[in-house]
Amino acid sequence: MIRAATVADIHLIVEMIRALAAYEKLTDRVVLDEERLQEHLFGAHPFAEVLLAEEDGEIVGFALFFHNYSTFLGRPGIYLEDLFVRPEYRRRGHGRALLTAVARLAVERGCGRLEWSVLNWNQPAIEFYRSVGAIPLEEWTTFRLTGEALCTLGVASYQDRSRR
């Protein structure tokens, strides 16, 4: 069963994020604050949404996603930030059910696309995504600004504007 997460699920969501990070060998990068995550998911201005997969009353997977916008299509889209099913519950249809639920929301909301990233080494996920008709965008390179680089650029841009 797939259902929308509620504020009561915040501890489970954090647990699933940590499990995903462990699977991706990225636990050292998880610095999230549970209270801030709760505000970002369930506060006055939510930044993202979460769907949960349940089996026999236990949370076995999750999908965290948010809206983006395509200027070329002139339509909103959905970016799937995280899709994770606990290893012991894989190959039971939970991943497909979560992805299908997000795709259904994208269609219902008039979105023009659903996108996500996958680590190059994650061959099982790549094969799964290809099996549902997804194609890799090999002509695109993802760039990211974080930490000091983000602050430096953001502060410099802000200071430049305030001097004008």
2-4/49-55 β-pairing: antiparallel
d(CA 101, CA 89): 18
**Residue written as tokens 């509620």?**
6
Alpha helices in the chain (DSSP H): 10-23, 34-42, 94-108, 123-131, 147-163
d(CA 78, CA 106): 6
Task: Specify whether the CB–CB gap between 59 and 52 falls below 8 A.
Answer: yes
**Residue written as tokens 């012991």?**
88
Collapse the DSSP code of 138 into the 3-class scheme (helix H, G, I; strand E, B; otherwise coil) and give the result. Answer: coil
Active-site residue, from 23, 89, 129, 158: 129
Dihedral of CA atoms 2, 104, 14, 154 in degrees, nearest 10, equals: -170
Catalytic: 129? Answer: yes
Catalytically annotated residues: 129
